[in-house]
Chain A
Amino acid sequence: GAVVSQHPSWVICKSGTSVKIECRSLDFQATTMFWYRQFPKQSLMLMATSNEGSKATYEQGVEKDKFLINHASLTLSTLTVTSAHPEDSSFYICSVGTGPPGEKLFFGSGTQLSVL
């Protein structure tokens, strides 16, 4: 399957600052990547679909101006949490789809964000 590298693994930041999370597809050219967030003891929640060379598609309730997604190449998508607040503290996970038929998602190792 696809190898997905996510960086950093964890980050601590102060309220009001911005944090960038990188997701790289190491062995697969991904036209589409997905960003999820996960709170403790809960399931993954889809935030947005990142499309190479075009604007991301955000799920209902996810602020596009707060969670900036850039997918400038077939191997890299970034998620920037702008003006972070403590309620943004969460586990953020990216994934890469392998394409049809029977598309499978392969996930990065996740980024634990703690906002003080």
Chain B
Amino acid sequence: QVQLQQSGPGLVKPSQTLSLTCAISGDSVSRNSGSWNWIRQSPSRGFEWLARTYYSSRWSNSYTSSLRGRLTINADTSKNQFSLQLNTVTPEDTAVYYCARMTTTTNGAFDIWGQGTTVTVSS
């Protein structure tokens, strides 16, 4: 079955860059339908969609406007994974970060989620 395995640091210092990776098993990051997403959850803001990447004859990326300029999402086909970078972090970026898949079958819904990475921004 499809699984998403997240990796990345749990503690990041203010002003530094947060980097997270989501390794895919049982599916392909370059599948022709659907997308690969990053979402975060915090007590103050609830769930917040951050970014997505998908392949449809070429790679396409989208970002939440509230963090535009600070986010970068990339797919690595050689390792079958995708990653998220969030730069210039502040304590407000403290949250649980999830990667998730959306397909054309469960259109508009995330059917597979990673295990979550708790990220704390603190010096």
The answer to whether A and B belong to the same complex is no
